[in-house]
Amino acid sequence: MHHLSLNRRRFLQAAGLLGLSTMVGRNAFAGDTITLPFENGERPLVKYPQKCPLIRHTTRPPQLETPFSVFNESVITPNDAFFVRYHLAVLPPSSIDAEKFRLEIKGKVNRPAEFSLAQLKTRFDQVEIVAVNQCSGNSRGFFQPRVPGGQLGNGAMGNARWKGVRLKDVLGLCGVAKGARQVVFNGLDKPVMPTTPDFVKALDLDHALDGEVMLAYQMNGKDLPWLNGYPLRLVVPGHYGTYWVKHLNEITVTDEVFNGFWMNPAYRIPDNDCACVEPGTVPAKTVPISRYNVRSFITSLADGAQVKSGQPTTVRGIAFDGGYGIEHVMFSEDGGRNWRETKLGKDLGKYSFREWTIPFTPKQTGVFDLKVKATNRIGQTQPLEPLWNPAGYMRNVIETVKVEAS
């Protein structure tokens, strides 16, 4: 493995809260390393099947983060740059035979059934939705004090156009039995050790039948990449990626609340309005993680970037939330003392990234603290100071990018 040149390395280490310079993107070289801006932040860039070089956090199971500059290329995240997160190390083979694949529907249904991919595509209405998939622990590496788990930068998220069928329609054909309470989802990935809990997730019945939860077989107009759940995955718009079960092959309707390991005790947040507690403390009560909170990022400038004094530049970025939709995005060039409203780009749907732009002309030389904050349509916004919880979930602090005008 070769390393980045010294000058390039120093620039990357200076790349501040965004974690990645605009130099590192889909054209990066596998074998290079990058240093995320927190303790022990050096990571290799590694190429996996169907993927451009991504930031590798772990090998087994694979955790691969998207280089942040990718988010400046398009509101839609390309399939080859989309992040990868597994909990179990035994993945199904990349050569899954799509014709032999079956999705089993069982449990509290009147007509248990199995469906091939061809049957899903021909027996049900095909639907599309643009939606963000974000890891619960996205940005965990910035938590202070630090918390256990994958020390991720800001790239464990992506926005794609998903195509598939409504879960509501499939369950409707099978007939949900009276007394059903939850729908439980399992995929083809398996644990190495029999003592490791299988990765199984659950949704309340009303949520599962809301008409938006989807069984997706396409992503951005192509079959799902192997590492993003081929041939079928659950899409739960507006909800953290832990629910987006990959390689989905088994759906069970239950008449009780499912309490498997990955629902309880894992993926729980403090049961209060901010999903936070005092740093270093333990919440008195927890609930399963659910919807995204509001987030926004500057994508066109990385921490440490150089700009020209007196020359206008267009600052660009993205914002999103859990499905209420972005109302406005505000920008500050003076560390938050004054704010200006940005111009929002095309609306691809309430679950999508929303692009924003604003002109910025530094009037003198020196360092400028650029900040961005979004507000959604029900008034939710971002905190000025980061919130903390023991699992390192749901970070959504107002981001700051320092640039120097010369």
Cα 20 → chain centroid: 17
Q: What was the pLDDT predicted at 257? A: 97
Q: What was the pLDDT predicted at 17? A: 33
- Is the Cα dihedral 357, 363, 367, 369 positive or negative? negative
Please tell me the chain's helix, strand, coil percentages from 3-state DSSP, rounded to the nearest 5: 10, 35, 55
β-strand pairing of 214-219 with 233-235: antiparallel
Taking only the tens of pLDDT, the chain with its 406 residues reads 333 333 333 333 444 333 333 356 777 777 799 999 999 999 999 999 999 999 999 999 999 999 999 999 999 999 999 999 999 999 999 999 999 999 999 999 999 999 999 999 999 999 999 999 999 999 999 999 999 999 999 999 999 999 999 999 999 999 999 999 999 999 999 999 999 999 999 999 999 999 999 999 999 999 999 999 999 999 999 999 999 999 999 999 999 999 999 999 999 999 999 999 999 999 999 999 999 999 999 999 999 999 999 999 999 999 999 999 999 999 999 999 999 999 999 999 999 999 999 999 999 999 999 999 999 999 999 999 999 999 999 999 999 999 999 9
Residues β-bridged to residue 400: 371
Q: What was the pLDDT predicted at 57? A: 97
pTM, two decimal places: 0.93
Do 118 and 193 form a contact (C-beta atoms < 8 A)? no
The most distant pair of C-alpha atoms in the chain lies apart, rounded to whole Å, by 71
Residues β-bridged to residue 106: 252
- Give Cβ neighbours of residue 42 (< 8 Å, ≥ 6 apart): 33, 34, 35, 36
Q: What was the pLDDT predicted at 53? A: 96
- Give Cβ neighbours of residue 222 (< 8 Å, ≥ 6 apart): 79
Q: What was the pLDDT predicted at 24? A: 65
Q: What was the pLDDT predicted at 7? A: 35
CA distance 206 to 208: 6
Do 93 and 226 form a contact (C-beta atoms < 8 A)? no
Q: Which residue has the tokens 């951005």?
A: 220
CA distance 44 to 30: 8
How far CA 94 is from CA of 137, 222, 232, in Å, comes to: 26, 16, 13
Report the candidate in 376, 383, 299, 295 with the shortest Cα–Cα distance to residue 336: 383
Report the candidate in 338, 321, 332 with the shortest Cα–Cα distance to residue 379: 321
Q: Which residue has the tokens 């500050």?
A: 332
Beta strands of 80-237 (E only): which ranges? 84-85, 103-107, 113-115, 126-134, 157-166, 182-187, 200-204, 214-219, 222-223, 233-235
Q: Which residue has the tokens 């054909």?
A: 173
Question: DSSP alpha helices (H): ranges in 150-292?
Answer: 167-174, 205-208
Q: What was the pLDDT predicted at 3? A: 35
Tokens of 30: 């596998």
Give the three-state DSSP class for 319.
Answer: strand
Q: What was the pLDDT predicted at 27? A: 73
Give the three-state DSSP class for 225.
Answer: coil
Q: What was the pLDDT predicted at 21? A: 39
Q: Which residue has the tokens 């290329």?
A: 73
Q: What was the pLDDT predicted at 31? A: 78
